[in-house]
Amino acid sequence: MIKKDIPFAVEIYYSSEELNESDSELLEQARAITQQAYAPYSNFRVGAAAILANGTIVTATNQENASYPVGICAERVLLSAIASQYGTAAIITMAISYDNLKGESKSPISPCGICRQSLAEYEDRTHQPIKIILAGLKGEVYIIEKANYLLPLSFTAVDMK
């Protein structure tokens, strides 16, 4: 028997003011787009913004539904929009933020399990690491070098062969 640690590093910034200009601007777009979210049931608005390899910026929000399983997270809305509009365009960086109408939005938010799986597969499909920026409307910001780091021991297409 062996024991193997699977660590990854997270860069933690005290605020978005510490970020480089590109990351700061992308995060601001993710924060701003939260206002377009359709979240009448949870009152938890999530926004995501991505910069593609060609320089295009795409944004998206979570979309809820009275039938809860029908809702879709901002991250997957964004991945779907990019794949639909730009094919297999590589994503360089994705920023994710939220506005919790029932409380504060001052700590980083992390994608749910389904979104982590979707991000990992998109990253594998395009052979391009996706830098992930996680934040609330204020407060600390986390930067993770690759989306795959969010889902160690992930299930992939290789497992189906």
- Give the residue numbers marked as catalytic: 75
* DSSP per residue, the chain: ---------EEEESSGGGS-HHHHHHHHHHHHHGGG-B-TTT-EEEEEEEEETTS-EEEEE-B--SSGGG-B-HHHHHHHHHHHHHTTPPEEEEEEEEEETTS---S-----HHHHHHHHHHHHHHT---EEEEE-SSS-EEEES-GGGGSTT---GGGG-
d(CA 82, CA 89): 7
